[in-house]
C-alpha cells in the first residue's frame, strides 16, 4: 500500500514528501521556496500520476496491464491489445531500444519489464511538470538510484550527492546535479543477476557499479541499465548516442 | 554522563505513567512511577529492609539503597564474618546477624533482600515469605526445578510481594526495545541470538582452602547451576519476552574447555531452544575468550534489535535518507553533499548496517564483563520498586512468573547438556502464565 509522509518547514519554506512503495521503492521530493498549500497540491498530483502508471506497469500486481500482457504472452505467445497509455510506454521503450542498438529492451525474456525505464521516465515527466509550474529548484529521488536535481540547493550552486560503495559504504564518487539527473545501476554477488546482457543472453553477475549522469533522467536510467549489461568494448559507442551523458564505471569492487 | 542518564531515566519513568498501554503489557512497572513512590513514602515513611548475603552483589545493593530515599537498611546477615563486617561498615546502624532465621524473627523488618549463592535462594525465600516478609531475591530463582515449583506455589498462597532481580525488565532500553518490537519495528520476530563471553576464571581469592567451596560457590554444583543460571538466565527471559512464548524444547552441549581447575560447572555452553512455531534461541557462553562480549539480539524479518546496546538495524535501511539531511541543511542554512542510497540492493556485511537508537538520549551499555554489576541497568529501579512494595504491601505482577520461566529454562538447558538429549518442557513444571 502507498503511504505518504509530507513535511513542511515554514522557516525555510521547504517542503519534503516521502512516498513509500511507489514503483517498488521510495519516492522522495524536496521543494524549496514554496508555500505549504501549493507544495501539498503539487506533490499530491505528482504522486497520483506516478501511482497510476505504477498500477499499469507493476509486474508484481497480477491485475496490472503488464501482468495481463505477460500472462497472455506466456499462454498464447501473443500480445493483447494495448491501452493508449501502454502504447505510449512501448513507443518510448522502442525509441530507447533503437538508440542502444537493442541492448536496452523491455521485451527481453518473454515478457514486458519496464523496470529500467519507468522511474527515469516518471522523473522526467515530474521535472517538466515542476518547471511548468514555475518551480526551478527541487530534488527528486527514486529509491536512491534515480535522482534528478532541478536548479540548485538554496545555499549551494548544485545539489551534491555522494554515491556509496555498496560493500564498504565509502563514497565511490560525488556527483553535482544542476538541472541534471543521476542513475546508479549495480550488482553485487548477493543481489546480482537482475540485469541481463541482451546480446549475449548472460546475466551480469560481476560486482560492478555504473554511475551515469545525463541531462534527462530517462536517458540516465536507460543508459545505466544498458551500460551495466554491455561488454566493455561497446561502452563508448553507447555513450556517444547520449550527448551530454557521462558514465563512471566501478568494475572491481 | 551518569547525571544525564539519571535524568533520562527519570524522564522515562515520568512518561511511563502516561503510557497505559505499556503498563498493561509490562505491569511490573506500575510500582516504579515517581508519584507512586512519593505517595507511598509520604504516607508511611521508609521501607525497613534487611540484607541477607553481604558479598559483592549484596554490597552493591547497599550502595544503591543509599540513593533510594524511601529505603532504610535496618539489618544485615552473613555467616561469613569478613563480608558481614564490610557491609556493616557501609551501614553502621544496622543490626547484625549470622543466621538468617534469627533475622526473620525480627518484626521490625518489612522486607529482605537475598543476595546469597543460588543454592540457598529457595530455602531463604520460602522461610522469609513464611515469616511474613516481603522478599527481593537475586536471580536465579532456585537451584532445582522442584525448588522453583515450591517457591512459585508458596508465592501463590502468600500475601507478600516477591521480586527477583531480573533487571532487564526494568532497563529502559529493553523496555522500549520490546515495546517497539511488538509494534513491528523489526517485522515479524524470527529468531533470537544471545551470547555472553568473558575471559576470566570466575574465581574469587580464597584466604583459607577450607573456604574454597563457600567463596567460589559458582563453580560447584551443590551451590550453583553454572553459566546458565548466572548469565543465561537474564537473556532467556528477554527472548521469551520478545517471542511472547516459552520454548518447547532444548538441546545443547556443555564442556569444561579451559578452566580445568577442579570446577564442576561448564565453562563453555552452546544451546538451542526451540519454540513450538520453529523459532529458535541460539545461546552461547564461553569464559575463556571475550571478543564477542555480551549480546541479546532479537532477529526480525525486517531488522535486528541489539537490546544490549539499545540499538536496532534494518535489513533494508532507507531511514538514513539523504533527503532528511537536506532538510536539516535548510534549517541550518548550510550546504553539503548528501548520500544517495546507491543501487537498491544492500550490502551483506554486518558492519555496514547503520545503528539506530532504541531510546532517546544517552544510555548506559553493559559490556557484560563485571561479575558484580553494571551501572544503570535497571537494578536500582527494581530495588526501588521493591522498597515501594514494602511500604504499600502491593505485590508485583509477572516478575515471579518471568523469573520462574527463565530459571526453569536454564535448568532444562543444563539437563539437556548433562544428558546429551533433547529435553522437552516437562508438563509438571508448566504454569498457567506460560504460553507455548
Ligand atoms: N542480577 C545480577 O546481575 C547479579 C549480578 C551478580 C550477582 N548476582 C547474584 O547475586 C547472588 C550473590 O552473588 P555474589 O557475587 O554477591 O556472591 P558472593 O559470594 O560475593 O556473596 C554471597 C554472600 O552470601 C553469603 N551467604 C551464603 N550463605 C548464606 C546464608 N545462608 N545466609 C546469609 N548469607 C549467606 C556468603 O557468605 C557471601 O558473603 C547470586 O545469586 C548471584 O547470581 C546477580
**How far apart (Å, rounded) are the C-alpha atoms in residues A95 and B212?**
86
Provide the pLDDT for residue B7.
58
Which whole number is the average pLDDT over B122-144? 98
Q: Inform me whether the pLDDT recorded for B347 exceeds 60.
A: no
**Mutation site, B315, B318, B328, B330, interface A, largest A CB count within 10 A:** B330
Which residues touch B107 (CB under 8 Å, ≥6 apart)?
A: none
Which whole number is the average pLDDT over A214-240? 91
Cell of A17: 514528501
Could you give the angle at the alpha carbon of A75 between the alpha carbons of A69 and A80, nearest 5°? 30
**How far apart (Å, rounded) are the C-alpha atoms in residues B435 and B398?**
13
**How far apart (Å, rounded) are the C-alpha atoms in residues B340 and A211?**
11
Q: Ligand 1: which atom is nearest the Cα of residue B124?
A: 31
Q: Inform me whether the pLDDT recorded for A193 exceeds 60.
A: no
Which whole number is the average pLDDT over B153-178? 95
Span from the CA of B193 to the centroid of ligand 1 (angstroms): 28
Q: Inform me whether the pLDDT recorded for B2 exceeds 50.
A: no
For B329-344, the pLDDT digits (tens) are 888 888 888 888 655 4
Among A28, A175, A188, whose Cβ lies nearest the Cβ of B345? A188
**How far apart (Å, rounded) are the C-alpha atoms in residues A238 and B67?**
74
Provide the pLDDT for residue A111.
86
Cell of B94: 544496622
Count the helix, strand and coil residues of chain B and give each as a percent rounded to the nearest 5: 45, 20, 40
For B8-44, the pLDDT digits (tens) are 566 666 666 556 777 888 889 888 877 777 777 777 7
Query: Is B321 in CB contact (< 8 Å) with chain A?
Result: yes
Task: Say if CB B119 and CB B213 are below 8 A apart.
Answer: no
The residue written with cell numbers 521535472 in the block is A127
Query: Is B205 in CB contact (< 8 Å) with chain A?
Result: no
Which residues touch B286 (CB under 8 Å, ≥6 apart)?
A: B197, B198, B257, B267, B268, B269
**Mutation site, A3, A10, A28, A208, interface B, largest B CB count within 10 A:** A28
Provide the pLDDT for residue A192.
46
* Band of pLDDT at residue B364, cut at 50, 70 and 90: low
For ligand 1, atom 27: residue with the closest CA = B116
Cell of B109: 523488618
B434 CB-contact burial (10 Å; exposed 0-12 / middle 13-18 / buried 19+)? middle
Span from the CA of B137 to the centroid of ligand 1 (angstroms): 10
Task: Say if CB B238 and CB B210 are below 8 A apart.
Answer: no
Q: Inform me whether the pLDDT recorded for B348 exceeds 50.
A: no
pLDDT, greater one: B147 or B324: B147
From the CA of A77, how many Å to the nearest CA of chain B? Answer: 32
The residue written with cell numbers 525505464 in the block is A117
Residues of A whose CB is below 8 A from B326:
16, 30, 139, 153
- Per the document, the length of chain B is 436
Span from the CA of B33 to the centroid of ligand 1 (angstroms): 29
Among A163, A175, A190, whose Cβ lies nearest the Cβ of B345? A190
CB contact under 8 Å between B331 and A32, yes or no, is no
Provide the pLDDT for residue B56.
96
Task: Say if CB B68 and CB B46 are below 8 A apart.
Answer: no
Task: Return the CATH superfamily for domain A3-250.
Answer: ApbE-like domains (3.10.520.10)
Domains observed in chain B: 2-169+377-400 (3.40.50.720), 187-371+403-429 (3.30.360.10)
Provide the pLDDT for residue B291.
92
Among A156, A160, A167, whose Cβ lies nearest the Cβ of B349? A167
What's CA B31's distance to the chain center, in Å?
17
> What percent of chain B is predicted at pLDDT more than 90?
72
* Band of pLDDT at residue A168, cut at 50, 70 and 90: low
Q: Inform me whether the pLDDT recorded for A72 exceeds 70.
A: yes
Which whole number is the average pLDDT over B243-258? 97
Provide the pLDDT for residue B134.
98
Which whole number is the average pLDDT over A68-88? 89
**How far apart (Å, rounded) are the C-alpha atoms in residues B237 and B361?**
26
**In the predicted model, what is the mean pLDDT of chain B?**
90
Could you give the angle at the alpha carbon of A169 between the alpha carbons of A165 and A171, nearest 5°? 60
For B36-70, the pLDDT digits (tens) are 777 777 777 899 999 999 999 999 999 999 999 99
B127 lines ligand 1 (CB under 6 A): no
CB contact under 8 Å between B344 and A25, yes or no, is yes
Which whole number is the average pLDDT over B396-416? 97
CB contact under 8 Å between A143 and B339, yes or no, is no
* Band of pLDDT at residue B230, cut at 50, 70 and 90: very high
Which residues touch B289 (CB under 8 Å, ≥6 apart)?
A: B197, B199
Q: Which of B82, B174, B199, B152 is nearest to B379 (CA)?
A: B174
From the CA of B330, how many Å to the nearest CA of chain A? Answer: 6
Provide the pLDDT for residue B293.
92
Which whole number is the average pLDDT over B285-294? 95
What 3-state class would DSSP assign to B303?
strand
Alpha-carbon separation of residue B289 from A224, B209, B409 (angstroms) = 48, 28, 25
Provide the pLDDT for residue A169.
66
Residues of A whose CB is below 8 A from B342:
144-145, 163-166, 184, 186, 209
What's CA B53's distance to the chain center, in Å?
19
Cell of B150: 515450591
- Per the document, the length of chain A is 253
Which whole number is the average pLDDT over B296-321? 84
For A39-64, the pLDDT digits (tens) are 999 999 999 999 999 999 998 889 99
Size of interface A-B (CB pairs under 8 A): 112
Q: Inform me whether the pLDDT recorded for A247 exceeds 90.
A: yes
For A101-140, the pLDDT digits (tens) are 999 999 876 789 998 899 999 999 999 999 999 999 999 9
For B374-389, the pLDDT digits (tens) are 777 889 999 999 999 9
**How far apart (Å, rounded) are the C-alpha atoms in residues B162 and B356?**
36
B118 lines ligand 1 (CB under 6 A): yes
**How far apart (Å, rounded) are the C-alpha atoms in residues A54 and A60?**
10
Range in A78-82, A155-159, B348-352, B398-402 with the lowest mean pLDDT = B348-352
For ligand 1, atom 13: residue with the closest CA = B57
Query: Is A204 in CB contact (< 8 Å) with chain B?
Result: no
Q: What is the ipTM of this complex?
A: 0.85
pLDDT, greater one: B326 or B420: B420
Q: Inform me whether the pLDDT recorded for B189 exceeds 80.
A: yes
Which residues touch B427 (CB under 8 Å, ≥6 apart)?
A: none
Query: Is A115 in CB contact (< 8 Å) with chain B?
Result: no
Residues of B whose CB is below 8 A from A14:
327, 330
Q: Ligand 1: which atom is nearest the Cα of residue B99?
A: 32
CB contact under 8 Å between A182 and B340, yes or no, is yes
CB contact under 8 Å between A186 and B345, yes or no, is yes
What's CA B46's distance to the chain center, in Å?
26
Provide the pLDDT for residue A191.
47
**Mutation site, B316, B317, B321, B323, interface A, largest A CB count within 10 A:** B323
CB contact under 8 Å between A30 and B326, yes or no, is yes
Query: Is B336 in CB contact (< 8 Å) with chain A?
Result: yes
Residues of B whose CB is below 8 A from A155:
329, 333-335
Count the helix, strand and coil residues of chain A and give each as a percent rounded to the nearest 5: 35, 25, 40
* Band of pLDDT at residue B148, cut at 50, 70 and 90: very high
Could you give the angle at the alpha carbon of A216 between the alpha carbons of A210 and A220, nearest 5°? 15
Provide the pLDDT for residue B234.
96
**How far apart (Å, rounded) are the C-alpha atoms in residues A56 and B27?**
50
Q: Inform me whether the pLDDT recorded for A244 exceeds 80.
A: yes
Alpha-carbon separation of residue B215 from A134, B82, B221, B223 (angstroms) = 80, 11, 13, 10
> What percent of chain B is predicted at pLDDT more than 70?
89
Bridge partner list, B192:
B281, B298
Provide the pLDDT for residue A197.
62
Q: Inform me whether the pLDDT recorded for B346 exceeds 70.
A: no
Alpha-carbon separation of residue B187 from B14, B190, B298, B303 (angstroms) = 28, 9, 11, 7
Amino acid at each position: 500500500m502507498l503511504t505518504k509522509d509530507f513535511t513542511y518547514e515554514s522557516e525555510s519554506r521547504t517542503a519534503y514528501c516521502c512516498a513509500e512503495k511507489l514503483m517498488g521503492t521510495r519516492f522522495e521530493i524536496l521543494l524549496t521556496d514554496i508555500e505549504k498549500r501549493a507544495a501539498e497540491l503539487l506533490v499530491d498530483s505528482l504522486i497520483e500520476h506516478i501511482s497510476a502508471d505504477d498500477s499499469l506497469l507493476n509486474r508484481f500486481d497480477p491485475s496490472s496491464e503488464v501482468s495481463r500482457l505477460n500472462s497472455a504472452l506466456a499462454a498464447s505467445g501473443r500480445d493483447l491489445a494495448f491501452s493508449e497509455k501502454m502504447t505510449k510506454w512501448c513507443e518510448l521503450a522502442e525509441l530507447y531500444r533503437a538508440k542502444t542498438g537493442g541492448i536496452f529492451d523491455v521485451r527481453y525474456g518473454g515478457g514486458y519489464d519496464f523496470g529500467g525505464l519507468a522511474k527515469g521516465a516518471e522523473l522526467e515527466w515530474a521535472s517538466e511538470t515542476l518547471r511548468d509550474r514555475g518551480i526551478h529548484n527541487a530534488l527528486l529521488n527514486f529509491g536512491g538510484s534515480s535522482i534528478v536535481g532541478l536548479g540548485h540547493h538554496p545555499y549551494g550552486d548544485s545539489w551534491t550527492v555522494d554515491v556509496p560503495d555498496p560493500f564498504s559504504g565509502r563514497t565511490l564518487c560525488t556527483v553535482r546535479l544542476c538541472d541534471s539527473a543521476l542513475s546508479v545501476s549495480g550488482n553485487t554477488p548477493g543481489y546480482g543477476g537482475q540485469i541481463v546482457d541482451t546480446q549475449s543472453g548472460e546475466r551480469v553477475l560481476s560486482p560492478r557499479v555504473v554511475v551515469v549522469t545525463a541531462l534527462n533522467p530517462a536517458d540516465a536510467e536507460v543508459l545505466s541499465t544498458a551500460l551495466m549489461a554491455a561488454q566493455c568494448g561497446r561502452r563508448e559507442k553507447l555513450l556517444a548516442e547520449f550527448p551530454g551523458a557521462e558514465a563512471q564505471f566501478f568494475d572491481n569492487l | 554522563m551518569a547525571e544525564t542518564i539519571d535524568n533520562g531515566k527519570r524522564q522515562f519513568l515520568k512518561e511511563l505513567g502516561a503510557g497505559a498501554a505499556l503498563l498493561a503489557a509490562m505491569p511490573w512497572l506500575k510500582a516504579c512511577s515517581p508519584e507512586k513512590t512519593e505517595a507511598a513514602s509520604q504516607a508511611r515513611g521508609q521501607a525497613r529492609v534487611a540484607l541477607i548475603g553481604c558479598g559483592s552483589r549484596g554490597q552493591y545493593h547497599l550502595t544503591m539503597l543509599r540513593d533510594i530515599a524511601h529505603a532504610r537498611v535496618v539489618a544485615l546477615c552473613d555467616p561469613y564474618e569478613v563480608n558481614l563486617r564490610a557491609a556493616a561498615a557501609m551501614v553502621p546502624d544496622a543490626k547484625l546477624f549470622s543466621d538468617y532465621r534469627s533475622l526473620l524473627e525480627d518484626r521490625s523488618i518489612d522486607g529482605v533482600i537475598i543476595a546469597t549463592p543460588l543454592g540457598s535462594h529457595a530455602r531463604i525465600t520460602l522461610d522469609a515469605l513464611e515469616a511474613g516478609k516481603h522478599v527481593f531475591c537475586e536471580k536465579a530463582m532456585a537451584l532445582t526445578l522442584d525448588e522453583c515449583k515450591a517457591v512459585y506455589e508458596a508465592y501463590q498462597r502468600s500475601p507478600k510481594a516477591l521480586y527477583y532481580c531480573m533487571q532487564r525488565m526494568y532497563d529502559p532500553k529493553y523496555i522500549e526495545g520490546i515495546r517497539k518490537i511488538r509494534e513491528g519495528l523489526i517485522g515479524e520476530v524470527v529468531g533470537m541470538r544471545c551470547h555472553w563471553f568473558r575471559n576470566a576464571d570466575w574465581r574469587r581469592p580464597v584466604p583459607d582452602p577450607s573456604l574454597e567451596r563457600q567463596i567460589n560457590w559458582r563453580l560447584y554444583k551443590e551451590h550453583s547451576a553454572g553459566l546458565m543460571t548466572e548469565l543465561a538466565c537474564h537473556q532467556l527471559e528477554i527472548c521469551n519476552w520478545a517471542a511472547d512464548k516459552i520454548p518447547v524444547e532444548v538441546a545443547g552441549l556443555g564442556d569444561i574447555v579451559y578452566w580445568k581447575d577442579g570446577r564442576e560447572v561448564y565453562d563453555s555452553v552452546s544451546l538451542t531452544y526451540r519454540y513450538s512455531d520453529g523459532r529458535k534461541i541460539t545461546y552461547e557462553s564461553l569464559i575463556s575468550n571475550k571478543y564477542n562480549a555480551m549480546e541479546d539480539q532479537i532477529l526480525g524479518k525486517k531488522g535486528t534489535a541489539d537490546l544490549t546496546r539499545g540499538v536496532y538495524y534494518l535489513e533494508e535501511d532507507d531511514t538514513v535518507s539523504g533527503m532528511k539531511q537536506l532538510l536539516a541543511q535548510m534549517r541550518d542554512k548550510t550546504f553539503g553533499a548528501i548520500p544517495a542510497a546507491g543501487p537498491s540492493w544492500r550490502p551483506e556485511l554486518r558492519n555496514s548496517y547503520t545503528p539506530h537508537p532504541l531510546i532517546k538520549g544517552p544510555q548506559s551499555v553493559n559490556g557484560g564483563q563485571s561479575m558484580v554489576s553494571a551501572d544503570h541497568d535497571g537494578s536500582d529501579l527494581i530495588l526501588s520498586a521493591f522498597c515501594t512494595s514494602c511500604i504499600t504491601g502491593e505485590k508485583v505482577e509477572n516478575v515471579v512468573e518471568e523469573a520462574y520461566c527463565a530459571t526453569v529454562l536454564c535448568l532444562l538447558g543444563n539437563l539437556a547438556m548433562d544428558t546429551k538429549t533433547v529435553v522437552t518442557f516437562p508438563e509438571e513444571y508448566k504454569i498457567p502464565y506460560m504460553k507455548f
